[in-house]
Structures are given as structure tokens and as C-alpha cells.
Amino acid sequence: MAGNATAISRLFDGQLRAVNAGLAMFAEAPIAHGASVTALDWRPPAEGDREVGLLLARLQDDPADPIGRTVAAANAEAVERLLAAQPLLVDIRPAHEALGLTDTRLLHSGPPIPWERMCGPVRGAIVGAILFEGWATSPDQAEALAGSGAIGFSPCHHHGAVGPMAGVISPSMPVVVVENAAGGTRAHATLNEGLGKVLRFGAYDASVLERLRWFRDVLGPTLSAALGASGPIDLRSLTGQALQMGDEGHNRNIAATSLFTRTLAPSIVRTADTATAAAVLDFLRGNDHFFLNLSMAACKSALDAAHGITGSSVVTAMSRNGVEFGIRLSGTGDRWFTSPVGVPDGLYFPGYGPDDANPDLGDSAITETFGIGGFAMAAAPAIVRFVGGTAADALELTRLMNRITLARNPAYALPSLAFAGTPTAIDARLVVDSGIAPVINTGIAHRQAGIGQIGAGITRAPLGCFAAGIGALASSLGLASAGVPAPATAAPGSGVTA
Amino acid sequence: MAGNATAISRLFDGQLRAVNAGLAMFAEAPIAHGASVTALDWRPPAEGDREVGLLLARLQDDPADPIGRTVAAANAEAVERLLAAQPLLVDIRPAHEALGLTDTRLLHSGPPIPWERMCGPVRGAIVGAILFEGWATSPDQAEALAGSGAIGFSPCHHHGAVGPMAGVISPSMPVVVVENAAGGTRAHATLNEGLGKVLRFGAYDASVLERLRWFRDVLGPTLSAALGASGPIDLRSLTGQALQMGDEGHNRNIAATSLFTRTLAPSIVRTADTATAAAVLDFLRGNDHFFLNLSMAACKSALDAAHGITGSSVVTAMSRNGVEFGIRLSGTGDRWFTSPVGVPDGLYFPGYGPDDANPDLGDSAITETFGIGGFAMAAAPAIVRFVGGTAADALELTRLMNRITLARNPAYALPSLAFAGTPTAIDARLVVDSGIAPVINTGIAHRQAGIGQIGAGITRAPLGCFAAGIGALASSLGLASAGVPAPATAAPGSGVTA
């Protein structure tokens, strides 16, 4: 005892230097007594949830443990498939043809949700799509039809597609066809409408429907013919260039849109009549976001290739339907793990504020899932500035995302980080272990149907759905008996949807 | 004496902390005796030239001195005119019309130089221009004609124009017409030919002449008609956007070229027949450097507005003819101050090296004179990487240029430097005082006529011509009697050309 006391007291002979992990208040007493304290940014794994924490420990890469070996090998395979992806834009086809949407089925963004629980902007977009398809002739009639059970609703993700914001796809809409030959996958997305009153933000007035008809009758067929003449366009190369030109591939797409337009313009001129070519080039000139939907489909084609690997904790989808935030893991099949979704931090157009905002919405977080968008913020400091941040904050966000991803994608180099690749392959284990939530760049829709966009900003994924995913992954590997609660209670408000 | 000795010895009682300015060896003794020494990056003003240093002191901003007041007010006026510039691309016209080149006169880059002293690439471009104009039918005949005295040679700068590399302009070539209404100036440049075998690098084979004929007969008239339909294009806005997209407006122009193409494409389609529109859009798609010449003319239109202010030490032109590097100051009229020019540090195409390189060449340093190009390197880390540097080096180069410029141009914001404006208005006093030479991004031509580009890189302006300019500015303000040597001997090899 005396010896111990002496040894301990010797600790205090010199200037005391301490490291504090966790609560800042632990450091107060030593600081008051003159010690220097270095604070570690540390949080308990799994937000302190003991059961999830124990499972997480069993799921770690461990050559001595069959489960640890399975997870490590599965994730290595997922990373390899993500890095090998080479998405090509091959065509633009009507959705009924490309997606097999032949009945009165409408697709929407995010995990599954019935009409009754859908948020305002998604309902607005569905009303618009029903009017556009001619299934009803007034908004009231369209709403009644939507609630009658006569219209089927499915997530875009269940049909090899993605849609920004409301993400509504109806049979007559043209969709881009992106082929990732390396992964044997095809992915699709609508054509981007531009800003202002647009269907994806829940607006459905005459101007919105007129644009959709022009997409169907002119823009889609014209771009399809131009692509037929030019051959496929390499979206990996275009996005790689754009990331060196201030785009991050989600909320900023002016570089990629300009490169795309410059690439395809000669073929458009050669395959369309003058008036049509000029109108299409006018539209492409006026829409700095045209490339967003191409970017989304490219990311989806890569992530689908990495999906379905038993034991993999790599996140293959993050998406929001305006009510719930949902994720899928490569190793847990078609299940969605969901948490309630919040309102993004953002900048609002004049006359609007957070009270008007719908919670976060859209499949566009597929870009972050693939490692661009918010994960490539270092490429696009202008976006951080938009919400009051600096170029240094942009670098910091990308560095933070490095901590929850397994690889850097050399095809997408970030100049301001010494040309390091984008953080790729989100590992749900790392998210749950560190408490670092994926960052997502997003638009903000008005909560009521029919109004449209009111701002844009940055948000973070909720953590609960990642914990739920880890629980299900553990179950799938025979670890269900470890006393883990059912995923629905792993985090309050989180759930699982088949 | 005893009191002084005590006071001095008290200096050494504690830990000695010293600041060393100048030679590093001064610090060696105190360091050997345990002192900590902070090294200041300091050099004697004017490279230690006493006479120039004394003049420099008299030219400093000083409200108590009439000369100091004149210089300060003149530079303030020059800065105001530079920041006010709003260059618009208004048309594309044949040089004989836009520049009044009606006889057998050819323009070239850099300060004046007779045929006998011209470098290989300029001679090559002159041979090409003579063949293109039909003044001779073989290269030998063209060379003989050029040396016969029958062809007049003038710098582009003497005709309100600028040309990259050899910068040769002949009467039939189309030139861009850039109007800076705020400054009442117009500036011109040829159309950019792209990379490979091109006239500006001294090549003149059949493919080069064919392209020039297509420029004259198709590209120039087509773009002119499109501009007539679209109205003027705001080059300040385009360049401002491009600097946020990885361009620096000199060696990297892919963003501005893409934005320009996307902006003008609809008008091209509406004013040209299909085959012509497609061919023009093909050319714009294939030439990532098309915007360079627009950028150069825009910078020239701004700098000409700031030229001719009595007492101003602001640099209004930096240019090279492949033999001499020349500058002009706002306050010294049409005189050129020159120094011998070196070979850039650069990266060479396979099969070539520094021994093949021509010394630095071209009017394109007008971009750096205006504060973009090498001065905006922070916008384009990809260029520094090209010669083995890092993104941090790119920031450092722009920060260094802040030390020799009088303003930051808010129209040209640099994202990676917290959206600070580009370093604008080079003050020859600051260059001479600090010994910090302006940085210039550049292409590298083969030293022999007829070969073309062999690399690209980064170079620094020689200091001698700035010292010569300061001497002449002092003379113009009545300080010639201060015992300053004639500018031609202010720095070895430097000279003055009217």
C-alpha cells in the first residue's frame, strides 16, 4: 500500500500532463490544479448501447475468427466492385420501357411508404405525375385516385432507379440508362428539370406539366438520338474532371453539366432539326443541375454492383422519403433500416424559413453513399460557403468522412487534398463505432404539396438506422443469440422494412 | 563605457532570442552559443543596387512629398481602372478590319525585335503567316521575303492586340474584339488553334495552314454571326466562374471553354447551317484552350485602361518575344523595359528536353499582368502538380504575388483562399524592393522553326527590366539627377526600347 502510494504520488512530482477521453468535465479538476489536459474527441461506440457495442466487437476484421474473416473478405470484395465501376450513359428511354412500368404504378424516393404517411412534396409530385399521365384531370381527382388504392407505389430503388427529392417516376417519363459493365448493372434516373417550380420539389402547376411533356416528346428522344450517334458517354471520366472543377456531384453540377453539353452538342446538332437542337441546347444552357440525375444513376450503378455480398457491412443505399431516412447494407439484402428524418441545416430563399421546410427528402444521397456529394466537399468549397462555412470546413468534412469509409477512389481525385481520392465505401461498423454520421448535401422542399424548393443545405444521416443495420448483419451471420435487441428498438424510432 | 558594457551584458543574462535578416551565416555564431534565431526572408532592395534603392526610397507613397503624393494617387487611379474593367466579347472580325492591318505588316508577340534577331518559333510562325496570306508559295521564298525588308513587323501590343506564343497576326486572320466600356478600350487576339502542330508554336505545315483558312472562312464568320444573335458575352463573369472551377485563365481553360461553348451553342445552331454548326461545335469540343485568347484580350482591355497615368508604377504589360522579356509601366508611356529571357521550368513531351526549348515566348503573360494565370495559381492546383508541386505550393505562389500587388480583385474570387480576390496591379516598386519576381505559367516551344510545342511549365519574370522601369519612372518625375545610371545599365543586359 505504502509502495503504491509512493508510486502514485511520484506521478505528481513533475508537471502533470493528462489525456481526457469523453466528458469534458472530467478534465476540470486536473486543470484547476495546474495540469495540462489534451482532450480526445472520443465517444463510446454505438452511442453507448452495450448490446450493439458487443456485436460490433464480434464483427471486427479478425483473421482468427470465422465471422471476422467473412466480414473482412466481404467488404474487400465490395470495395473492389465500387472502385471497378465504370458507368456509361448509353441511352435515354421511356420509363415504361426501361423499368417495365406498364401499369398505374408510380415510383418515389426513399424507403417504402404508403400514401397515407407520405409527406407534402411527395404527394404533390404524385398528383403532378397522375395529371401528366392523364389518369386524372384535376388535382383533387388525382389525390382521390392516389388514396383509392388504384395506384401502386414503390421505391425507385426497388426498380434499379433513383430520383432526386420526391423522386417520382411515371411510365411516360424519359429516364437515363446508365450501364456499369464491370458490375453487370444498369441504373436509371429521370431527367433534371432545373430549379424553381419543378415536380421533384412537389410543384405540379401547368408550367411543370408542360415541361414534363416537352421532356417526353422532345428532350428525351433528342438526347437519345444524339447518344446513338455519339456512342456512350463515360460518366466516371466526366465526374472525375468535374471534381477538379468545383463540383461535388450532388448540389453543384455546373462543371459536369458544361462538359456534358460541350461533349454532346455536335451530335445533337447532327441528329435533330435546327429548332429542336437549339431548344435542347437552350435548356442545357439554362440548367446548371442537369448532370445531377446522371451523377445519381452513375452512383447507383456502382453501388448495385457492390450489393448482396454476404457479411458485408458496406452501405449500398442511403435515401429519404421525407418521413424516414433509410439505408441498405450490402450484406443484408433488400431490407431497409430506417430512422425518422430531420430538417437540413440550410439557407432559405427570401420569405421562407425552417418552419416551412419538409424533412430531408430524396434518393440523391446515393451520391454520398458512393463517396461524392458531401463526401467530396473538399472539391466544392463554394457549397460550404453557401451555409456560412469556409474552405477549411470543406476539407474537414471530407477528412471526417475518411474515418467512416474503407477506401479512397483514385478515379475521383480531390485537388485541395493533394489529389487524394474521394472517401468510398461507407462501413456501417465505422459509423456506429465512431458516431460520425455521413454528411449529405441536399435541397430543401416546402412541406406543403405544390409549392416547391425553398432552400438548400447540409445535413447528417441519423445514426439509429446504422445500428439497426449492424444488428441485422450480426443476425445474418448467426450472432442473433448475443442478446441483441430487435433492430426496431436498437435505436429509438428506428425500424426495418422489407 | 562601463555603463554601456553593463547594459549590453545584461542582454545576455537570459535566453537569447535573435532575429536574423539577410545572410544565413550571420545566425551561425549565436546559434552555436545556444541562442534561438528566427530567420527573416529578407533581401536588400533592388538586389543591392544602391542607386536604384535610393530612387525607390524617393518613389514611396509619402503624403509629405509631392512626388510620393503623385505616385500614390496615380497608382490608386490605376487600381480603380483595373477593378472597374468589364470586358465584353462583342465580335470576331478579320484583323485587317479590326486592327487596320492593310499592308504587308505582320504582328508578333513581345517587345519590338527585327527579323534578324527573332527566335525560331517566331520565324516559323511568320513563314506560316506569309504562306497563309499567299505572299509567297514556299517556306524558302517566305523566309527570303521576311528578310528582304518588304514585310513590316510590329508588336501586337502596339496595335491593341495580344497573341499567345509567337503571337503572329496577319491581315486575313479573324481576331476577337473585346470591349471594356468602363475604360473606353478595345483589345484583340487571334482565335486559339488548340494543341499540337499550330502556328503559335512555330509550325507551318499544310495542316496548320488549312486550319487557318478554316478559321478565316468558317470559324470566325460563324462565331461572329452567333455573337450577333446572342449579344455580347461577359468575359469577367465567365472568368470569375472559371476561377472557381479549376482554371487560372492562362494554362488551364477547360472550365471557361466549356462555359463559353454552352453559352454560345444555341446561337451557333440558330445562325449557321447544320454542317457548319456541327463542325464549329466539334472544334470547340476538342480544344480545351479555346478560351485562352479571349482571356488574354480581356486582360489587355483592362490593362490598357490603366495605362498612361503619369507617375504610376503599375505594370501594364509583361511580354516575351523569345529573346527578350519586356514590361511597360502605366507611368512611362510606350517604352519597353527589357531583360534577356530564360527557359521555363517545365515538363516536356516525350522525346524533348530543356536543350530543345526556346526561351520563354508570348504575350500571354498579359494574364499574369492582370492578376490571373500564375497569380491565380491557388485556383488551379492541377497546374502546379503538372511540374511536381502540391496544392499547398499553389496557394503559396498566389500569396507571394499578393506581396507585389496593390489590390485584390473581388470579381475573381479564389475558393481555396477563403474567396479572396486575385492579386491585382503589379507595382514595379514592390517587385524591385522585395526581389519577388512575378510568376508566369507558360507553354514551351521548340527552338527551331516548324516543330511546335514540346512542353509547358512555370517561369518567373527577370528582375532587371523592373529596375529599369523604376529608373525611367523616376526620370519622368524629375528624379533623373539623383545620380541614377541610364536604365540600360541599371541591370546587366536590360534595356529600353521605344
At residue B1, the pLDDT reads 44
Cβ–Cβ below 8 Å for A254 and B269? no
Instruction: Name, in order, each residue with C-beta under 8 angstroms of B412's C-beta and a sequence gap of 6 or more.
Output: B239, B240, B243, B371, B372, B376, B421, B422, B424
Rounded to a whole number, what is the distance in Å from the CA of B42 to chain A's nearest CA? 30
pLDDT at A216 over 80: yes
Sequence-separated (6 or more) residues with CB below 8 Å from residue A434: A43, A45, A403, A404
CATH topology identical between A50-83+307-497 and A86-298:
no
Q: What is the pLDDT of residue B18?
A: 78
Identify which of A258, A390, A417 has the shortest CB distance to residue B259. Answer: A258
A391 min Cα distance to partner chain B (Å): 6
Give the closest of B259, B274, B390 to A269, CB-based. B274
Closest C-alpha to A494, from A459, A476, A469, A473: A469
Taking an 8 Å cut-off on Cβ atoms, the answer to whether A266 and B278 are in contact is yes
Tell me if chain A has a CB within 8 Å of the CB of B258: yes
Query: How far is the alpha carbon of A290 from chain B, nearest alpha carbon, in Å?
Result: 12
The answer to whether B284 contacts chain A (CB < 8 Å) is yes
Report the C-alpha gap between A319 and A297 in whole angstroms: 14
Report the percent of chain A where pLDDT is more than 70: 93
DSSP B41-54: ----GGGG-HHHHH
Whether A14 has a pLDDT exceeding 50, the answer reads yes
- Cβ-contact A319, A110 below 8 angstroms: yes
CB contact under 8 A, B255 and A257: no
Q: Which of A244, A277, A285 sits opposite B262 (nearest CB)?
A: A285
Contacts with B, A 198-227, CB within 8 Å? none
What per-residue confidence (pLDDT) applies to A487?
44
What architecture does CATH give domain B52-74+303-497?
A: Alpha-Beta Complex (3.90)
Please provide residue A338's backbone torsions phi and psi, each rounded to the nearest 5 degrees. Answer: -125, 155
Instruction: List, for residues B7-27, the tens digit of each pLDDT value.
Output: 666 666 667 777 777 677 777
Give B-chain residues touching A391 at CB under 8 angstroms: 415-419
Q: How far off is chain A from B132, nearest CA to CA, in Å?
A: 28
Express each pLDDT in B228-285 by its tens digit.
999 999 999 999 999 999 999 999 999 999 999 999 999 999 999 999 999 999 999 9
Instruction: Characterize the bridge pairing of strands B405-414 and B420-426.
Output: antiparallel
Whether residue B245 and residue A255 make contact (CB cut-off 8 A), yes or no, is: yes
Q: How far apart, in whole angstroms, are the C-alpha atoms of residue A487 and residue A479?
A: 13
A286 at B interface, C-beta within 8 A: no
CB contact under 8 A, A285 and B274: no
Residue B26 near chain A (CB below 8 Å):
no
Contacts of B255 in chain A (CB under 8 A): 245-246, 255, 258
Binned at pLDDT 50, 70 and 90, residue A31 comes out as confident
- The residue of A262, A291, A385, A412 whose CB has the most chain B CBs within 10 angstroms, and thus the best one to mutate to test that interface, is A262
Nearest CA in chain A to B266: A278
Of residues A432, A430, A431, the one with CA closest to residue A484 = A432
Write the single-letter amino acid at B370.
F
Phi/psi at A459 (5° precision):
-140, 175
Per CATH, the homologous superfamily of domain A86-298 is Enterococcus faecalis V583 domain (3.90.1710.10)
* Pairwise CA distance, residues B431 & B439, whole Å: 11
Q: How many of the other CB atoms lie within 10 Å of CB of A353? A: 11
Per-residue pLDDT of A145-167, as tens digits, reads 999 999 999 999 999 999 999 99
What's the mean per-residue pLDDT of chain B?
91
CA A185 to chain B, closest CA, distance in angstroms equals 30
Pick from A255, A261, A282: CB nearest B255: A255
- Nearest CB among B254, B263, B281 relative to A285 is that of B263
Closest CA of chain A from B180, distance in Å: 25
Longest dimension (CA), chain B: 96
**pLDDT reported for residue B486:** 44
Q: Chain A: nearest CA to B391, how far in angstroms?
A: 6
pLDDT, residue A495, reads 57
Q: Work out the mean pLDDT of chain A and round it to a whole number.
A: 92
**DSSP code for A310:** T
Residue of B nearest to A416 (CA): B391
**pLDDT of B339:** 97
Residues from chain B contacting residue A269 (CB–CB below 8 Å): 269, 274, 277-278, 281
Q: Does A413 touch chain B (CB under 8 A)?
A: no
Contacts of B226 in chain A (CB under 8 A): none
Helix axes B291-305, B235-243, angle to 10 degrees: 110
Percent of chain A with pLDDT over 90: 78
| Partners of residue A274 in chain B, C-beta under 8 Å | 269-270, 274
Give the model's pLDDT for residue B112: 98
Question: A274–B269: do the CB atoms touch at under 8 Å?
Answer: yes
Residue B215: predicted pLDDT: 98
| Interface membership of A278 toward B (CB under 8 Å) | yes
Write out the three cell numbers for B32: 552555436
Residue of B233, B257, B258 to mutate when probing chain A, most A C-beta within 10 A: B258
Its pTM stands at: 0.90
Q: What pLDDT score does A45 carry?
A: 80
Nearest-CA distance from A244 to chain B in Å?
Answer: 6
Higher-scoring residue by pLDDT: B20, B58: B58
| B152 vs A17 pLDDT, higher one | B152
Distance from CA of A281 to the nearest CA of B (A): 5
Alpha-carbon gap: A349 to the closest alpha carbon of chain B (Å): 22
- Residue B467 corresponds to which cell in the numbers above? 529596375
Return d(Cα B438, Cα B371) in angstroms, integer: 10
What CATH number was assigned to the domain covering residues A50-83+307-497? 3.90.1700.10
Q: Is the pLDDT at A481 greater than 70, yes or no?
A: no
Which of A244, A255, A257 minimises the CB distance to B382?
A244
CB pairs under 8 A between A and B: 103
Q: Using the predicted structure, report yes or no on whether residue A4 has a pLDDT greater than 90.
A: no
Residues of B in Cβ contact (< 8 Å) with A246? 244-246, 255, 415
B87-298: CATH number: 3.90.1710.10
Q: B251 and B383 in contact (C-beta within 8 Å)?
A: yes
B385 reaches A (C-beta below 8 A): yes
CB nearest to A269's CB, from B259, B278, B416: B278
- What are the residue boundaries of the structural domains of chain A, listed by start? 2-40, 50-83+307-497, 86-298
C-beta atoms of B391 and A259 within 8 A: no
Residue B439 phi/psi, 5° resolution?
A: -90, 140
